[in-house]
């Protein structure tokens, strides 16, 4: 038998509860030699609030899913499958499909400290905004593109009567 990573489907919002339930269940059923690790992949996201305030928070990479490293046999499968909050394994019902090493590495790369930080905002294309800082402060414009990974927004600003695209950071604009 080999130790492999499997993906559990859970009720959304119950990921931490499932992890706790699983850890307790593994201990009480003596499955420490079958179930080795439980991961809930998270990443740090910076949200831009009204007025350009930044708020960092941890968000689940895959809400409703938990990763479990285990040796799959009838006992461990039944114990994990019947844990409160678990709706099933990802893969066929009769035989869950383990993650490949590549898939696991891709998932965990998003959770590492070297991973680029994500930025989220409530800005969207077509929205009217006011530039609040920088050389174009006090200009009004319309969002033409939102680039969350870069933490930037492209705004069409009217300069000398001509629409000009300007790339700004999220904290340089506020909704009108």
Structure tokens at 122: 């409530």
Mean pLDDT (whole number) for 124-141: 89
Residue-wise pLDDT for 88-120, tens only, equals 998 866 778 899 999 988 888 877 665 555 666
pTM: 0.65
Q: What distance in Å separates the CA atoms of residue 116 and residue 68, rounded to the nearest whole number? A: 25
User: Shortest CA distance to 41 belongs to which of 23, 59, 57?
Assistant: 59
Mean pLDDT (whole number) for 142-163: 87
Residue-wise pLDDT for 37-82, tens only, equals 999 988 877 776 666 677 788 888 889 999 999 999 999 999 999 9
Instruction: Output the pLDDT for position 116.
Output: 56
Query: SS3 string of 39-107?
Result: ECCEEEEEEECHHHCEEEEEEECCCCEEEEEECCCHHHHHHHHCCCCEEEECECCCCECCCCHHHHHHH
Mean pLDDT (whole number) for 21-42: 93
pLDDT classification of 6: cutoffs 50, 70, 90: very high
Instruction: Output the pLDDT for position 145.
Output: 92
Rg (CA), the chain: 23
- Domains of the chain by start residue, with CATH: 4-110 (3.30.70.940), 127-175 (2.30.30.30)
Helices (H) and strands (E) in the chain, counts: 3, 12
* The pLDDT of residue 1 is above 70: no
The pLDDT mean for the chain works out to: 86
Instruction: Output the pLDDT for position 55.
Output: 78
Instruction: Output the pLDDT for position 57.
Output: 80
User: Shortest CA distance to 18 belongs to which of 2, 38, 33, 3?
Assistant: 38
Return the biggest CA–CA distance within the chain: 74
């Amino acid at each position: 038998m080999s130790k492999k990573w499997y993906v559990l489907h859970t009720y959304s919002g119950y990921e931490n509860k499932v992890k706790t339930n699983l850890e307790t269940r593994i201990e009480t059923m003596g499955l420490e030699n079958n179930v080795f690790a439980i991961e809930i992949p998270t990443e740090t996201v910076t949200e831009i609030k009204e007025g350009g305030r930044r708020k960092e928070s941890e968000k689940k990479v895959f809400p409703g899913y938990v990763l479990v490293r285990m040796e799959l046999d009838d006992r461990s499968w039944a114990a994990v499958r019947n844990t409160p909050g678990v709706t099933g394994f990802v893969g066929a019902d009769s035989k869950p499909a383990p993650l490949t090493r590549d898939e696991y590495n891709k998932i965990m790369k998003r959770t590492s400290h070297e991973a680029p930080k994500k930025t989220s905002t409530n800005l969207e294309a077509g929205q009217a905004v006011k530039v609040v800082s920088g050389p174009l402060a006090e200009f009004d414009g319309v969002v033409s593109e939102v680039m969350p990974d870069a933490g930037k927004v492209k705004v069409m600003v009217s300069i000398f009567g001509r629409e000009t695209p300007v790339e700004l950071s999220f904290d340089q604009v506020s909704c009108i």
